[in-house]
Structure 1
Amino acid sequence: MVRERSSHWNQKCRCLLLGLTVILILGAVVVFAAVILAGRRDPPAELPQWKGRGSTANLEEIILGRCFIYTRIVNPELRKDCLKIWETFKNAFVSKNPCNITEQDYQPLMELAAHPIQCNKTLLWSKTNELAHKYTKVQGNLLTLEDTLLGYMADGLTWCGSPSSSETNYQSCPHWRECANNPVSIYWKMASKTFAEAVCGVVHVMLNGSINHAFGNSSIFGSVEVHHLNPKKVHLMKIWVMHNIGEQPSDSCSGSSIKELKSIIEGKNITFSCEDDHRAVQLIQCVGQPEEPACRVCRTEF
């Protein structure tokens, strides 16, 4: 009887050991198979290669920093949540095709970051970027789009995302020639629209008369800002057509492009005026070329 019990116990032990061995072997096989399959997975999809430069390095830090500077120093009376602004800005383009960005993508940001603009204090510009901002910096009383929060945060920056990633694409972004509906172009169109809708009173405009068409329908000024001025808020547009010092003008207030602009503006029941080489702006140009005839000050000889 004792021998039968001992034999039975040994048989149970052998069965138990055999079962444990089988489990360990199966576990090892599963682990091995998992490792092999993991090694065979396709690598992460590479981001598309565009012809434009990638997003500006440290984009988040720059946007946040500029937002805090603007709301704490430039315009301390403005109460904005910069962290929320960054998240809203990022959500407009990450995880999306950078050639298929829409105005709706940026609408929440426009509403979040927009702020009131003082009447009679705005300067719109086209093809006069450097001169316009030199003038407003010295003059100190006119505001361009780049002097608003939306313009200040994004000026000079590049950004885009990719449908295959939830992060910003720092490798490359679409050049504007590759697709019109890229994140940067749509942003500036929306910011320009928001700015134009906010201006009131007298609006000043600086155009470049040293190119063939001082006013162009395809520019942001011609295609966006002009058409979103509110005639119930804006009563006068003052055009300044500026020319490079010492060069022959290519366009002027009497040119066909300015006449086209005048027709559009007066069609909106807004009064229109135009001046070639507004003297205050020309003096800014003369700082670098004081000996040019246009920069000489007439003196009375006694």
Structure 2
Amino acid sequence: MPLQNRSSKTRRRTSLLVIIMLLIVTIVAVLGTVLLANETKETSTQLLQWKGRGTTKNLQEVILGRCYNYITTVNPELRWRNRGTRQDVTCPQTPSKAVAEPGIEPRDKDCQNIWETMQKAFIYKNPCNITTEDYQPLLDLASHPIPCNKSLFWSKTNDLVHRYTKTSHNFLTLEDTLLGYMADGVSWCGNPSSPGINYESCPKWSECESNPSSVYWKMASKMFAEAACGVVQVMLNGSIEAGAFRSNSESCTGRSITRLKSILEERNLRVSCEDNYRPVQLLQCASDPDHADCRLCTNSVQ
């Protein structure tokens, strides 16, 4: 009997030790899982830090709203396309009709698809490693013809040139295209970890050239330039100290604009330049009527 009691006690002690070891292993495993989960969570929410402003809040709603507004009110001709020539696309005979005539079909400007394609170009990606291939599907979806003799390029005249186009309706800048209209004044960039979009900061051009905004605008500008035909207009500021074209210039005869003219002429393009273009000068006078150049000559009443 004493031997049996000892054996029974030994088995009980062994079982108790096994249970205790299992509990210790289980606790260690649980603690390890929790710590790993917390570490993963911290890593996933860690955002890269940059010097530029972060992604615009409610970016999806902004892009979608602008897209719908553009194809509905700004450029409703994009809602329909002719099965015939490119000229028919830019100048439809009856753009205001709600029902398309024979030979006309809905134009495939799907704003939801455009947004999703734009998002795929940068979300969950390092914002310094964006390529032209990332944005090519978006350009294929959002590009559209530009009427001849309507292209207006600008440099360092942002506010004035767009006041002019909104007033005259005779010219189109890059910002008047669908790609430009959607992204004008908007900032965006991705982040390799969750949530995939960085709303805190985005890289400036000085930090890395291959950032989402820079690559986007380069490609959109190239598309706009390639679509230009006929007479092309350029609005520059020849009075600013920094120069209108990468060096000092004060007028059509200034060094930087003279250089620009020579570059264009070397490419067999005819160039003409006009100082103080009257329609634009009148816009400036509307904002600053007391400026010396805006004073009108009047006959004094005796």
TM range (shorter): 0.7 to 0.9
Q: Whole-Å Cα distance in 1 between the matches of residues 21 and 222 of structure 2?
A: 66
Q: Is the 8 A contact 2:64 2:111 kept in 1?
A: yes
**Which residue of structure 1 lines up, in the alignment, with residue 84 of structure 2?**
none
The alpha-carbon distance between structure 1 residues 153 and 22, as it changes in their structure 2 partners (threshold 3 A), is farther
Question: Which range is displaced more, 177-186 or 33-42?
Answer: 33-42
Alpha-carbon separation, structure 1, partners of 2:296 and 2:256: 31
TM-score where L is the length of structure 2: 0.77
**Could you say which residue in structure 2 is the equivalent of 1:36?**
31
Partner of 1:287: 286
Q: Is the 8 A contact 2:152 2:171 kept in 1?
A: yes
One-letter amino acid of the structure 1 residue matched with residue 278 of structure 2: R
What does residue range 1-302 of structure 1 map to in structure 2 within 5 Å? 32-41=27-36, 42-43=39-40, 44-45=42-43, 46-78=46-78, 79=107, 80-165=109-194, 167-212=196-241, 213-216=243-246, 250-299=249-298
- Percent identity over the alignment is 59
Listed one character per residue, the Cα deviations across residues 9-47 of structure 1 (whole Å, up to 9, x for unaligned) are: xxxxxxxxxxxx999999867754442112221243211
Contact 2:121 2:134 in 1 (8 A): yes
Q: Quote how far apart the aligned CAs of 1:296 are.
A: 2.5
Backbone CA RMSD of aligned residues: 2.8
User: Alignment partner of 1:275: what SS?
Assistant: coil
Q: Is the 8 A contact 1:214 1:252 kept in 2?
A: no
Cα distance change of structure 1 residues 29 and 86 upon mapping to structure 2, 3 Å threshold: farther
Give the number of equivalent residue pairs. Answer: 255
- List structure 1 runs of 4+ shifted beyond 4 angstroms: 21-31, 299-302
Partner of 2:99: none
CA–CA separation in structure 2 for the residues paired with 1:135 and 1:48:
40
Bigger RCO (CA 8 Å, 6+ sep):
2
Contact 2:165 2:171 survives alignment (8 Å) = yes
TM-score normalised over the length of structure 1: 0.77
**CA-CA distance at 1:86 after TM superposition:** 0.7
* AA of the residue aligned to 2:32: L
Distance 1:89 1:27, change over 3 A: farther
- Pick closer, same or farther for the CA change 1:33–1:283 going to 2, 3 Å: same
Q: Secondary structure at the match of 2:272?
A: strand
Query: What whole-Å deviation, never above 9, does each CA across 1:184-206 have from its counterpart, x for those lacking one?
Result: 11111111111111111111100
24-33 vs 155-164, greater mean Cα deviation: 24-33
CA change 1:166–1:291 in 2 (3 A) is: closer
Give the unaligned 5+ runs of structure 2. Answer: 1-15, 79-106
Give yes or no for contact 2:149–2:232 (8 Å, CA) kept in 1.
yes
5+ residue gaps, structure 1: 1-20, 218-248
Q: CA deviation at 1:95?
A: 1.8
Q: Deviations over 1:222-268 (max 9, x none)?
A: xxxxxxxxxxxxxxxxxxxxxxxxxxx95211111111111111122
User: Which whole-Å CA distance do the structure 2 matches of 1:178 and 1:54 have between them?
Assistant: 14
How far apart are the structure 1 equivalents of 2:115 and 2:280? 36
Q: Which residue identity is paired with 1:124?
A: F
Quick one: distance in 2 between partners of 1:294 and 1:202? 29
Query: 3-state SS of the aligned residue for 1:205?
Result: strand
User: CA, structure 1 residues 37+214, in 2 after alignment: closer, same or farther (shift >3 Å)?
Assistant: same
